[in-house]
Structure 1
Amino acid sequence: MGKEREAMVTNARDVKKYLSVLSDLESKLREGHFGPGRKLPSVRAAKALYECSASTIVRAYAELEKRHAIYSIPQSGFYAVAKPGDASDREDGVRIDFASASPDEEMFPYLDFQHCLNKAIDRHKASLFAYGHPQGLDTLRQTLVSHLAGDQVFAGAEDIVVTSGAQQALEILAKMAFPGGKRTVLVEQPSYDLYLRFLEAEGIPVRGIARSAEGIDLGELETAFASGDIKFFYTMSRFHNPLGTSYREEERKTIAKLAGKYGVYIVEDDYMADLGGGRRFEPIFSYERTGRAVYVKSFSKIVFPGLRLGAVVLPEALRDAFQAHKRYGDTSLLSQAALEVYIRNGMYDRHKHTIGSRYAARMRTLNEALKKFDDEGIVEATDVREGVYVRFKLPRTVNLERMTKRLAERDILVVPGKDFYLSDCGDRDKFLRISVSRAKTDRIEEGVKAIVEEAKRCNRW
Structure 2
Amino acid sequence: MKKYMSILSDLEQRMMEGQYRSGEKLPSVREAAKSYGCSVSTVLRAYSELERRHAIYSISQSGYYVVDRQPARGARNEGQTIDFASASPDLNLFPYLDFQHCLNKAIDTYKYNLFTYGDLNGLEKLRHTIVSHLAGDQVFASPDQIMITSGVQAALEILAKMPFPNGNETILVEQPGYDLYLRFLETEGLPVRGIARSTAGINLQELEEIFKSGGIKFLYTMPRYHNPLGTSYSTVERKAIASLSAKYDVYVVEDDYMADLGEERGFEPIYSYDSTSRVIYLKSFSKIIFPGLRLGAAVMPRQLLETFRKHKRYADTSLLSQAALEVYIHNGMYERHKHKIISQYAARIRLLNEALKRHNTDGLIQAADIRSGVYIPFMLSQTVNMERLMKRLEARNIRVEPGKGFYLSGYPERDKFLRISVSRALPERIEEGVKAIIEEVKRSGGRSSSG
TM-score range, shorter chain: 0.7 to 0.9
Residue equivalent to 2:53? none
Q: Which moved more, 1:333-342 or 1:397-406?
A: 397-406
Match of 2:270 in 1: 284
* Structure 1 residue 397 corresponds to structure 2 residue 383: yes
Q: How many residue pairs get matched?
A: 374
Question: 1:243: how far off?
Answer: 0.3
| Superposed displacement of residue 298, structure 1 | 0.4
Alignment of 1:406-425 (within 5 A): 406-425=392-411
If the length of structure 1 is used for normalisation, what is the TM-score? 0.80
For 1:216, the aligned partner's letter is I
The answer to whether 1:445 aligns with 2:431 is yes
**Does the 8 Å CA contact 2:407/2:413 hold for their aligned counterparts?**
no
**Partner Cα separation in structure 1 for residue 244 and residue 198 of structure 2:** 20
Confirm or deny: 8 A CA contact 1:418 1:428 kept in the other structure.
no
Partner of 1:246: 232
2:119 aligned partner: 133
Letter in 2 for 1:457: R
Q: Work out the CA distance in 2 between the residues paired with 1:150 and 1:275.
A: 14
Local SS of the residue matching 1:377: coil
Query: Which position in structure 2 is the counterpart of 1:350?
Result: 336
Q: Distance in 1 between matches of 2:194 and 2:384?
A: 25
Which residue type is aligned with residue 429 of structure 2?
Answer: R
Aligned to 1:106: 92
Does structure 1 residue 202 correspond to structure 2 residue 198? no
Distance 2:115 2:445 in 1: 58
Q: After superposition, give the CA deviation of every residue in 1:90-112 in whole Å (9 maximum; x if it has no partner).
A: 53442100000000000000000
Stretches of structure 1 that go unaligned for 5 or more consecutive residues are 1-87
- Alignment-derived partner of residue 203 in structure 2: 217
Mapping of residues 307-318 of structure 1, within 5 Å: 307-318=293-304
Contact 2:381 2:446 in 1 (8 A): no
What are the ranges of 5 or more consecutive residues in structure 2 without an aligned counterpart? 1-73
SS at match of 1:277: coil
Q: Does the alignment pair 1:94 with 2:80?
A: yes
| Segment of structure 1 superposing worse, 273-282 or 118-127 | 273-282
The one of 150, 157, 174 aligned to 1:188 = 174
Contact residue 381 and residue 416 of structure 2 kept, 8 A: yes
Paired residue for 1:431, among 410, 417, 426? 417
The answer as to whether partners of 1:291 and 1:315 remain within 8 angstroms in 2 is: yes
Match of 1:76 in 2: none
Q: In 2, Cα distance between the equivalents of 1:329 and 1:132?
A: 6
Counting only pairs closer than 5 Å after superposition, residues 28-177 of structure 1 correspond to structure 2 as: 90-177=76-163
CA RMSD of aligned residues (A): 1.3
Aligned equivalent of 1:386, options 372, 377, 380: 372
CA gap of 1:401–1:320, structure 2 versus 1, over 3 A, is same
Partner residue, 2:445: 459
The C-alpha deviation readout for 1:177-218, integer Å capped at 9, x for no partner, is: 111320000000000001000000000100000001000000
After TM superposition, give the deviation of residue 400 of structure 1 in Å. Answer: 1.0
Equivalent position to 2:247, from 254, 261, 264: 261
| SS of equivalent to 1:459 | coil
CA deviation after TM superposition for structure 1 residue 352, in Å? 0.6
1:275 to 261, 265, 272: 261
TM-superposition CA deviations, 1:118-163 (whole Å, max 9, x none): 1101100011121111110000000000001111100000000000
Mapped contact 2:179–2:407 kept (Cα < 8 A)? yes
CA distance in 2 between counterparts of 1:174 and 1:405 reads 36
Q: What SS is found at the alignment partner of 1:331?
A: coil
In 2, Cα distance between equivalents of 1:349 and 1:180: 38
| CA deviation after TM superposition for structure 1 residue 250, in Å | 0.7
Amino acid at match of 2:106: A
Normalising to structure 2: TM-score of the pair?
Answer: 0.82
User: What corresponds to 1:368 in structure 2?
Assistant: 354
Alpha carbons 1:421, 1:428 under 8 Å: kept: no
Distance 2:428 2:313 in 1: 48
Retained in 1: the 8 A contact 2:94–2:290? yes
Percent identical:
67
SS of structure 2 residue aligned to 1:370 = helix
Give the number of the structure whose alpha-carbon radius of gyration is greater.
2
Q: Deviations over 1:424-449 (max 9, x none)?
A: 10242100000000000000000000
| Amino acid aligned to 1:268 | E
Alpha-carbon offset, residue 383 of structure 1: 1.2
Comparing 427-436 and 389-398, the one that deviates more = 427-436
The alignment partner of 1:381 has SS state of: coil
Measured in 2, the distance between the counterparts of 1:163 and 1:277 equals 27
Structure 2: how far apart are the matches of 1:456 and 1:91? 27
Give, in whole Å, the separation in 2 of the partners of 1:460 and 1:249.
35
Task: Determine the C-alpha separation between the residues in 2 that align with 1:388 and 1:460.
Answer: 25
